[in-house]
Amino acid sequence: MDSTLPNRLKLALVVPALNEEQAIAATLRRCLAARQKVVSQTPVTEMVVVFVNDGSTDGTQQVVDQGEFDEVVKVRFERNRGYGAAIKAGWDATDADLVGFIDGDGTCDPDFCVPLVKRLLDTGADVVLAGRMTPESRMPLVRRVGNRLFAGLLGLVSGRELTDSASGFRILQRSSLNLLAPLPDGLHFTPAMSAICLLDPRLTIEEVPMPYEERIGRSKLHVMRDGLRFLWTIMFAACCYSPLKTLLALSLLGAGVLTGLTLTATWLFDAPNLAPWMFLAGGLLVIMGIAGGVVVHQLNFLLIGPRRKAGALERLLQAVIDYRRLIMGGGAVFAAGMLVLAILLITGATVSPYVVSVLLLLTIGSATAALGGVIVRVIWAVGEKQKAMLNGGAPLRLREQAA
């Protein structure tokens, strides 16, 4: 055992279940049997199995209440609260150093905790998951294709590779849970965790290929509904952790769509006067993307701090988005733009619609920059207040002190 590891190393394996009457007994038996192998073959000194009933309406609870499962820690929801909520409740029910979860449908072998624990401790990773996308996997084709697509999308936005973003068998360091928060309560719990691990450079995630069997009973996953939710989760995480790149890319995509619509309308309906205004609308989308990206980036930077050592680009960005520069510079350009537009309006000068569009974009962009400066200043003030409250400080009440 590594001398840096604690003498006591406890693992809690959570088994969330919703109407798994057919499979839950066999799954829990295998989890309990796996304890001996985990303790004998890894540095783990104790392993507990936690069952969470997520509002089952069949005989799942009656099966688990049998005497052979007395050693299982049991948590029960009176009504369905969601897959992620069940896992988090299971973690809260123990004080284990390592926490994990495994699906209760019989698709995963609990003995595979051994290679997962070994990889976690050998690499010091925050999360290790069992990758189900092996050639021998018995996962249904539609889910296999969906997992490949989501993993590819995550790799595109994060620059890091993962083959199975929705694996339901993982082991984590409890100390990493704060960085992973917030995690959702629904079935998109696992892709959300994968997205955060890949996008936040403070976190590391490892993957170990694992055989995957056909589930017992009916799957709770709805391909279209949960697929759209998975997609939304990945995009939202990208907006949180890489806001400038993601929001700018989305705005450019929107501007490209508008350009395509403009060219199509011009060709089909001979509407040349539509082009300048589509140009203006596309420019506004880009301004909104940049503004939103800067605000979210600065929110992360001021409230959380840089997630890595600040490089040259980060230092340049912080210099540019200093709230005083944004307010003063944006305000000055806005005033100049409004003056030029007013002169054109008063004099009745004939100007190309493209020139008017550029002037409008410049004026709106500068006003947005000035407003962004105000928002950045407010974020800074709220962050400082929060830090003071966390450190035991309190705002001074000067009037009361003077009295």
Same domain membership, residue 365 and residue 352: yes
Q: How many CA atoms lie within 13 A of 103 on its CB side?
A: 25
Q: Evaluate whether residue 203 is within a structural domain.
A: yes
Same domain membership, residue 125 and residue 63: yes
Mean pLDDT for the stretch of residues 390-403: 47
Same domain membership, residue 173 and residue 312: no
How would residue 396 be classed by pLDDT, with cut points 50, 70 and 90? very low
pLDDT of residue 336 exceeding 70: yes
| Interval 291-305: pLDDT, tens | 888 888 877 777 666
How would residue 155 be classed by pLDDT, with cut points 50, 70 and 90? confident
Q: Give the type of residue at 266.
A: T
Gap between the Cα atoms of 286 and 132, Å rounded: 39
| Interval 94-105: pLDDT, tens | 999 999 999 888
Mean pLDDT for the stretch of residues 170-177: 94
Residue % of the chain over a pLDDT of 90? 32
Q: Which of the two residues, 86 and 324, has the higher pLDDT score? A: 86
Same domain membership, residue 106 and residue 216: yes
pLDDT for 79 equals 93
Range of the domain at 340: 243-390
Same domain membership, residue 211 and residue 82: yes
Same domain membership, residue 252 and residue 226: no
Backbone Cα Rg of the chain: 27
pLDDT for 403 equals 35
Q: How many CA atoms lie within 13 A of 29 on its CB side?
A: 9
CA dihedral 182, 185, 191, 193 (to 10 degrees): 30
Q: Evaluate whether residue 2 is within a structural domain.
A: no
- Going by C-alpha positions, the residue among 107, 122, 126 that lies closest to residue 167 is 107
Query: Which CATH number do you get for residue 62?
Result: 3.90.550.10
Same domain membership, residue 369 and residue 237: no
Same domain membership, residue 114 and residue 101: yes
Residues 157-162: contacts with CB within 8 Å, 24+ apart? 157/199, 157/234, 157/238, 157/242, 157/246, 158/195, 158/198, 158/199, 158/238, 158/242, 160/198, 162/194, 162/198, 162/205, 162/207
| Interval 323-332: pLDDT, tens | 888 889 888 9
Last residue of some domain: 241, 268, 290?
A: 241
Mean pLDDT for the stretch of residues 110-122: 95
Q: Is residue 272 helix, strand or coil? A: coil
pLDDT for 36 equals 95
C-alpha distances in Å from residue 343, one per residue of 276, 348, 366:
21, 8, 19
pLDDT for 219 equals 56
Same domain membership, residue 315 and residue 247: yes
Residue 61's Cα: distance from chain center in Å? Answer: 32
Q: Which of the two residues, 147 and 361, has the higher pLDDT score? A: 361
Among 81-90, 168-177, 242-251, 337-346, where is mean pLDDT lowest?
Answer: 242-251
How would residue 88 be classed by pLDDT, with cut points 50, 70 and 90? very high
How many domains does one find in the chain?
Answer: 2
Same domain membership, residue 248 and residue 233: no
Residue % of the chain over a pLDDT of 70? 83
How would residue 273 be classed by pLDDT, with cut points 50, 70 and 90? low
| Interval 348-360: pLDDT, tens | 788 887 788 888 8
Q: Which of the two residues, 128 and 259, has the higher pLDDT score? A: 128
Same domain membership, residue 150 and residue 32: yes
| Interval 29-63: pLDDT, tens | 999 999 999 999 999 999 999 999 999 999 999 99
Highest mean pLDDT among 4-18, 72-86, 207-221, 252-266: 72-86
Same domain membership, residue 211 and residue 133: yes
Cis peptide leading into residue 243 (ω within 30°)? no
